[in-house]
């Protein structure tokens, strides 16, 4: 299985366009840009699937040679999109796929319903391209072209703000366990993870790589950076400081993604990265590739 990390930042990216905090200013000066979280996977390097569709998707696809169109003039190796959530930073990129001849989108019932109602992406895209909306049931494996088997893992019930009126029940947030039947390689992808344990803990068994929620380094990070704001756990994100020890015990390669602009780990020279390295974990980077 080939894995390409197209983007590794939380919503808004790094630097955030409307933010003049010290961290964003340093990122601008250093040219250290992180685009919003998105991953591409393939089992045969011919059929590629996106894990989430970030608002930066067009630029991310253009920067990935593996995802270039051809050999036909309108032929693309992108076969579909697997959504972890219905959040805007994971779904706005679907609109950038309107020129595709067909789009297959996988998601839980709660996520697909949100894209029909309060954020009507399905209706908008349907006027431009042929759509296949494929419901995903948690815990039930399904197959993708190229020899990949995927299982959605329930990890949370946090609804997007725009869907506040939707039912609070349902699988609003999932991780994906993706297995390559040919090599036995397993990737676990969980950019939004409110807690460890339960189904997620079971999903990491035997994984070679875990690309996981690194939105915040500390639970009180927003207060440290701005003097106010909710904690990481209140926003549905387990901070790196609370997950590092347990995740690195899985034996998998652990890469933290979905970094918020407040996260000190965004800086390549951050001393906090030494702590990650001591545990054998690392910070995911835009354009990074894995072979599993």
The upper half-sphere exposure of residue 146, i.e. CA atoms within 13 Å in the direction of its Cβ, equals 22
pTM of the full structure: 0.97
Give the model confidence (pLDDT) of 54-95 as tens digits.
999 999 999 999 999 999 888 999 999 999 999 999 999 999
Q: Give the list of residues 6+ apart from residue 1 with CB closer than 8 angstroms, or none.
A: 41, 42, 43, 148, 178, 180, 183, 185, 187, 291, 292
Name residue, tokens 């197959």. Answer: 143
CA-to-CA distance for 51 and 155, rounded, in angstroms?
16
What domains are defined for the chain?
Answer: 2-291 (3.60.15.10)
CA-to-CA distance for 199 and 292, rounded, in angstroms?
22
pLDDT by residue, tens only, the chain of 292 residues: 999 999 999 999 999 999 998 889 999 999 999 999 999 999 999 999 999 999 999 999 999 999 999 998 889 999 999 999 999 999 999 999 999 999 899 999 999 999 999 999 999 999 999 989 999 999 999 999 999 999 999 999 999 999 999 988 899 999 999 999 999 999 999 999 999 989 999 999 999 999 999 999 999 988 888 878 899 999 999 999 999 999 999 999 999 999 999 999 999 999 999 999 999 999 999 999 999 9
- Cβ atoms of 53 and 24 closer than 8 Å: no
Q: Strand 209-213 relative to strand 186-190: parallel, antiparallel, unpaired?
A: parallel
| pLDDT for position 136 | 98
| pLDDT for position 224 | 84
What does the block give as tokens for 71?
Answer: 């050999």
Q: How many residues does the chain have?
A: 292
| pLDDT for position 103 | 87
Quickly list DSSP for 33-50.
Answer: -BPBPEEEEESSSSSEEE
CA-to-CA distance for 113 and 95, rounded, in angstroms?
17
Among 207, 201, 139, which Cα is nearest to 1's? Answer: 207
Name residue, tokens 């996977």. Answer: 41
| pLDDT for position 87 | 98
């Amino acid at each position: 299985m080939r894995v390409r990390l197209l983007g590794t930042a939380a919503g808004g990216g790094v630097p955030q366009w409307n933010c003049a905090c010290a961290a964003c200013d340093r990122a601008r000066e250093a040219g250290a840009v992180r685009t919003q979280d998105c991953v591409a996977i393939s089992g045969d390097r011919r059929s590629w699937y996106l894990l989430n569709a970030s608002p930066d998707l067009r630029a991310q696809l253009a920067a990935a040679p593996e995802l270039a169109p051809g050999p036909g003039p309108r032929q693309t190796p992108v076969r579909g999109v697997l959504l972890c959530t219905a959040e805007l930073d994971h779904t706005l990129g679907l609109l950038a796929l309107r020129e595709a001849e067909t789009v297959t989108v996988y998601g839980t019932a709660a996520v697909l319903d949100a894209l029909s109602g309060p954020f009507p992406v399905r209706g908008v895209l349907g006027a431009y391209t042929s759509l296949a909306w494929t419901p995903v049931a948690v815990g039930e494996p399904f197959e993708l072209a190229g020899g990949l088997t995927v299982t959605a893992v329930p990890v949370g019930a946090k609804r997007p703000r725009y869907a506040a009126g939707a039912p609070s029940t349902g699988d609003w947030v999932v991780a994906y366990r993706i297995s390559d039947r040919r090599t036995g390689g397993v990737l676990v992808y969980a950019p939004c993870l409110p807690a460890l344990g339960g189904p997620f803990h079971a999903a990491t068994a035997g994984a070679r790589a875990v690309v996981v929620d690194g939105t915040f380094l500390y639970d009180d990070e927003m207060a440290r950076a701005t003097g106010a704001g909710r904690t990481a756990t209140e926003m549905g994100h387990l901070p790196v400081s609370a997950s590092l020890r347990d995740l690195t015990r899985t034996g998998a390669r652990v890469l933290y993604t979905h970094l918020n602009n407040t996260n000190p780990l965004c800086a390549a020279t951050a001393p906090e990265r030494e702590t990650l390295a001591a545990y054998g974990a690392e910070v995911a980077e835009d354009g990074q590739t894995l072979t599993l």
